[in-house]
Every structure is written in C-alpha cells, then in structure tokens.
Amino acid sequence: MDELIEKFLEHIEFEKKYSENTISSYRKDLEGFNEYVKNNHINYKNMKYSDVTDYLIRLSGLKFKSTSIARHLSSIRSFYDYLIRENIVESTPFKLVKGPKKEQKLPNYLQYEEFLDLVNACDETNLGIRNRMILELLFATGIRVSEAVNIKIKDINFKEREIKITGKGNKMRIVYFNCVCQSVMSNYVLNARQDLLKGKTCEYLLINHLGNQITRRGIADILEKLIKKSAIKHKISPHTLRHTFATLLLNEGMDIREVQELLGHANLSTTNIYTHVSNEELRRVYLNSHPRAHKSE
C-alpha cells in the first residue's frame, strides 16, 4: 500500500493543488493507518466494517482528540475514494462509519464590568463616539457583526427602539435596543456620523473615517485597539459580545426559545450551548456562596 499512498499524495499535490501542510497531514494519517493494517495482517482491499471501527477505537485508546480522529477518518476516506476511481478497490466501509462528535467549546463572554471597561476606552472624538455606538449596539442586540455592518438607517425605529435585521439565509427578524443604546445611537447619528460623512451620503448606519460602509474587518480592528486600551487580558472577538448578550439574558432567566429568536438561530441546539455557560456560572456562584460548598465531609 506504500506505493499507492505516494501516488495518492502526488494526486492531491499536483492535480488537487492541496497545500503543503494539508499534504503533510494526509501523509501522517495514512502512514499511521498503513502501519496498523500491516501489523494486524488486514487486507486493505477487502476491509470490513469491524476493521474500521477497531482502528478508530485504537486511535481513541491512544488518547487522540475527537478532532484528530475525525481528520484521520477524512484522510482515509479520501484515499479510498481515490482507490475506487483507480479501480483498485470496489467499495469502502469507511463511508458507513460516522466520525466522533466534535468537542463542544464553550463560548467566551465578558463580565459586565469588562464591557464597561471597553466602553470607557472610547474617547469623545467622532470615531470614538462611533466606536462606542458599535459596542452598545452589539451588546444591546446580540446581532452578528455581519448583520451590524449591513444595518441601514431606514431599518431603525428609534421611537420603538427596534431594528429590522436581515440574517443568514435572508431571514428577517426584529431586535431591540435599550435606552442607553438609544441615547448613544442618537448622538452618533445626529452628530458624529454627519461629521464623518463630510457631505457625502451613505445609507448604512456604521461608517468608517472615509464616510463609507464599515467592514467586518474594520470592526475587528476597532475592538482590538479598544482591548489594548482596557484592562482586559483574555482574548475576545466581536462575536464575544454576541456570546455575552446570550449568556446574560439566560442568567437573568429569559426563556431559551426567546433567546434563540433574538439571536436568529435556526435550530435550538445552536442556542443550547449558552445553557452550558449559564450552568457553569451558576456552579461558580454556588461554590462561592454556599457555606458548606468548600467543606469536606
């Protein structure tokens, strides 16, 4: 099988144009699989379903992470797809095996005091007022950055404190903002934004220093600069404010389906991850508060 692996690697390098790092990962995965097949006297042309599951169990026993096992499985599937196209094997049991579930990472979020620290890092210049507007908007609504940059002035109902959002799949929803956000937004729209436009017109709420629609990268750069001015030490991104929004609402007792609607999640399972965060916070509060929480039996 060694020669076939080399031919496959040449195929993905010269015909598929895969990167050097990707090819290196394929080589490592396939060489490990080849060694397993040889050591266990398995006919690679006639592998059984049980051979595949035994191999995955072995990887698990070697303490491979689920992401690594999934990558191994993907590499071997691609290799066998190549063998089928080359008429070297007729079928493969690898397509019948589901990979391990990905480890679910809990989203990071800000404490309220950390959010205030970011707000205080904004100065009173026109750009500073805009930057605070961005923070207050993301914190108040939980919208995605990609949704924020596409908000048009006409989408905002200042009186009712509502914004019409176009989310993934062009799905429309209404989000709400608070009095503080309303005040900051009004100041930005009536004053700072007008100065930044310099006589130009732009239908979008958030604009850059040239008076044009701001980009997602632009917002990420703004947040990065504000973090450096603040006392926050852990890594955060614009999406962290979305995580913060969802976590705080659940911690305050909002129903998860209502949070799902505000976030624009198509599936409740996507929103469910925030319940894990809330449970962790509940556990922390319990351990810090209960008089017997730190006592041994």
- pLDDT tens-place string over residues 173-188: 999 999 999 999 999 9
If you average pLDDT over every residue of the chain, what do you get?
A: 86
Whether residue 191 is predicted with pLDDT greater than 80 in this model: the reply is: yes
Q: pTM of the full predicted structure?
A: 0.59
Query: Two tokens at 208?
Result: 């850059």
* Cα 236 versus chain centre, distance: 12
Q: Which are the contacts of 16, defined by CB distance < 8 A and separation ≥ 6?
A: none
Catalytic residue (choose from 55, 109, 188, 274): 274
From the CB of residue 222, how many other CB atoms can be counted at a distance below 10 Å? 20
pLDDT at site 297: 43
The length of the chain in residues reads 297
To the query of whether residue 265 is one of the catalytic residues in this protein, the response is: yes
Per-residue pLDDT of 63-85, as tens digits, reads 888 888 888 888 999 999 999 99
Q: Which of 144, 188, 193, 243 is catalytic?
A: 144
Does the structure show a pLDDT above 70 at 100?
Answer: no
Is 27 among the catalytic positions? no
- Higher-pLDDT residue of 62, 163: 163
C-alpha pair distances (Å), 155 with each of 65, 92, 150, 186? 45, 53, 10, 14
Quick check: is 225 catalytic?
Answer: no
- Tell me what the mean pLDDT of segment 85-93 comes to: 88
Q: What is the pLDDT of residues 259-294, one digit of tens each?
A: 788 887 767 666 666 665 555 555 665 566 556 555
For the chain, domains (ranges, CATH) are 2-96 (1.10.150.130), 112-288 (1.10.443.10)
Which one of 45, 95, 168, 217 is the catalytic residue?
168
7 noted as active-site residue = no
Is residue 284 among the annotated active site residues? Answer: no
Could you confirm whether 242 is annotated as catalytic?
Answer: yes
Catalytic residue, candidates 77, 152, 173, 239: 239
Cα–Cα distance measured from residue 177 to residue 182, given in angstroms and rounded to the nearest whole number: 7
